[in-house]
C-alpha cells in the first residue's frame, strides 16, 4: 500500500486530529485584484509600517519600500551581502513592534561563511531609505554548503519574543531531531539577540531552540485573538503541514511524515509516534505553502478567523475556514492568474496583500468585489 493511502486511512480512523486536504473546490473569485507593483525580482517577504507603507524583500538581496503615494522606492542602501543561491537570498522582513518610536526592522537572509552558508537574522534602523547600525542577532549553526531549506520567516509574539524559522538544509534531515543545533528548528530570541530564560533547551548547545522536528518552515504567524504562534512547512511529496507551536514540542520530521521522497521512496513508515505532535492540517499532494496570516478585519466580513496561505506549486491563495483551532472547508483564489504565491499579509485597511514569486514578481492588493 502506498504511503499516501496509509496516511488517508489513518486520517479516517482519527477524525478531528488533522485534515487531509488533497483537493479544494475552486472558489468563485469574488475579489478585485489590483497590481500595486510589478517587475519585482522574486519578492519573498513583506511587512507593514505604521504609516501604511510596505517594506518588501527581493531574493537577490534588495529591500524596497512601497508607498501608496509614491510607489516603489529604489533599493534601500547599506543592506548586507547575501548568498543568493538557489533558495537563498534576502528572505523575510519584519518591523519592530515599536517601529513608530525606534524605526527598527529585522530581516532574515542567507549569508556566506567559512565552509558554507547559513540563515542569519539582523536588525537595523531605517532612515532616509538606508539602513543604519546593521547588527547581526542570530546565525544558524552549523553552516552547510548548499542552497536549500533556509526557512527564514519571522514573527513577534505579544511579549516581544522574536521567532525565527529554520529549515533542515535538505541533506541533513536527521538533524531536525537533534536539539543541540539549529537545523530543522524554530528558535526564539529577544529583540537584542539574547535567549529568553524560559526557552526549553537553555542548558543545551542551541539554547535558542523553541520547537524541533521541522523540515522547511516558510509560514509563520501569530493568531491575532489568542496570541498563539502558528507555523507552516514544506513536506517532501505530500506532507506539507500547518502546526500550532508549543514550547519544546517535537513535530516529528523525519521520524514521522505524511509524505514520501521525490524518488517515491519511503522516508518513514510512521505517520505518528508518541511524544511527537500531529499537524493541525496537512496536504497531500503538496501545495508548496509559503506565507500565512489569520484574517481578523472587516473588509471580508465572512472571513473572520480564517487562515490564508500562499501556494507556490498550485499557484493560488488558499483560505481555510477555521472554528477555533479546527480547520474546515478550503477555498482557492487567484488560480487563473497562474502565479506562484510567496507571501500573504492582512493590511491595516483590512485588504489582503500578496507577493508573487517570479523574476518579474508582483505586489497584489485584494479587495471584495463590488
Per-residue pLDDT of the chain (370 residues; tens, 9 = 90+): 444 444 444 443 443 344 544 444 455 578 999 999 999 999 999 999 999 999 999 999 999 999 999 999 999 999 999 999 999 999 999 999 999 999 999 999 999 999 999 999 999 999 999 999 999 999 999 999 999 999 999 999 999 999 999 999 998 999 999 999 999 999 999 999 999 999 999 999 999 999 999 999 999 999 999 999 999 999 999 999 999 999 999 999 999 999 999 999 999 999 999 999 999 999 999 999 999 999 999 999 999 999 999 999 999 999 999 999 999 999 999 999 999 999 999 999 999 999 999 999 999 999 999 8
Pick the CATH number of 3-368 from 3.30.930.10, 2.120.10.30, 3.90.420.10, 1.20.140.10: 2.120.10.30
Tally of CB atoms within 10 A around 157: 15
Is residue 316 annotated as a catalytic residue, yes or no?
no
Residues 174/155, Cβ–Cβ less than 8 Å = no
* DSSP-derived pairing of the beta strands 326-333 and 25-26: parallel
The full set of domain ranges for the chain reads: 3-368
How many residues can be counted in the chain?
Answer: 370
pTM, full prediction = 0.94
Joined grid coordinates for residue 327: 480547520
**CA separation (Å) from 244 to 33, 220, 241, 286, 359?**
30, 10, 10, 19, 33
What is the CA 340 to chain-centroid distance, rounded?
Answer: 14
Task: Give the C-alpha distances (Å, rounded to integers) separating 231 from 11, 44, 205.
Answer: 21, 17, 24
Amino acid at each position: 500500500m502506498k504511503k499516501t493511502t496509509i496516511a488517508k486511512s489513518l486520517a479516517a480512523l482519527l477524525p478531528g486530529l488533522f485534515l487531509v486536504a488533497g483537493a479544494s473546490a475552486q472558489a468563485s473569485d469574488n475579489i478585485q485584484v489590483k497590481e500595486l507593483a510589478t517587475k519585482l525580482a522574486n519578492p519573498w517577504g513583506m511587512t507593514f509600517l505604521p504609516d501604511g507603507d510596505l517594506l518588501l524583500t527581493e531574493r537577490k538581496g534588495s529591500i524596497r519600500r512601497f508607498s501608496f503615494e509614491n510607489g516603489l522606492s529604489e533599493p534601500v542602501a547599506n543592506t548586507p551581502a547575501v548568498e543568493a543561491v538557489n533558495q537563498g537570498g534576502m528572505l523575510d522582513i519584519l518591523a519592530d513592534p515599536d517601529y513608530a518610536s525606534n524605526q527598527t526592522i529585522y530581516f532574515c537572509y542567507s549569508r556566506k561563511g567559512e565552509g558554507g552558508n547559513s540563515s542569519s537574522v539582523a536588525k537595523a534602523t531605517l532612515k532616509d531609505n538606508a539602513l543604519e547600525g546593521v547588527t547581526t542577532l542570530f546565525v544558524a549553526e552549523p553552516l552547510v554548503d548548499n542552497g536549500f531549506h533556509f526557512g527564514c520567516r519571522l514573527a513577534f509574539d505579544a511579549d516581544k519574543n522574536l521567532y525565527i524559522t529554520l529549515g533542515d538544509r535538505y541533506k541533513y534531515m536527521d538533524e531536525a531531531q537533534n536539539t543541540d543545533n539549529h537545523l530543522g528548528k524554530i528558535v526564539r530570541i529577544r529583540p537584542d539577540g539574547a535567549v529568553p530564560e524560559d526557552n526549553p533547551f537553555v542548558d543545551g548547545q542551541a539554547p535558542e531552540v523553541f520547537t524541533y522536528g521541522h523540515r522547511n518552515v516558510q509560514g509563520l504567524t501569530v493568531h491575532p485573538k489568542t496570541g498563539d504562534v502558528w507555523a507552516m512547512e514544506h513536506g517532501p511529496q505530500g506532507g506539507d503541514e500547518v502546526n500550532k507551536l508549543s514550547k519544546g514540542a517535537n513535530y516529528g520530521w523525519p521520524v514521522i511524515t505524511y509524505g514520501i521522497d521525490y524518488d517515491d521512496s519511503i522516508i518513514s513508515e510512521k505517520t505518528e509516534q508518541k511524544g511527537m505532535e500531529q499537524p493541525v492540517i496537512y496536504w497531500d499532494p503538496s501545495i508548496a505553502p509559503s506565507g500565512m496570516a489569520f484574517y481578523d478585519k472587516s473588509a471580508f466580513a465572512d472571513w473572520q478567523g480564517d487562515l490564508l496561505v500562499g501556494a507556490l506549486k498550485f499557484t493560488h491563495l488558499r483560505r481555510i475556514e477555521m472554528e477555533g483551532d479546527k480547520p474546515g472547508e478550503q477555498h482557492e483564489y487567484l488560480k487563473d492568474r497562474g502565479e506562484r504565491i510567496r507571501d500573504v499579509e492582512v493590511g491595516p485597511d483590512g485588504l489582503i496583500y500578496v507577493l508573487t514569486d517570479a523574476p518579474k514578481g508582483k505586489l497584489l492588493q485584494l479587495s471584495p468585489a463590488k
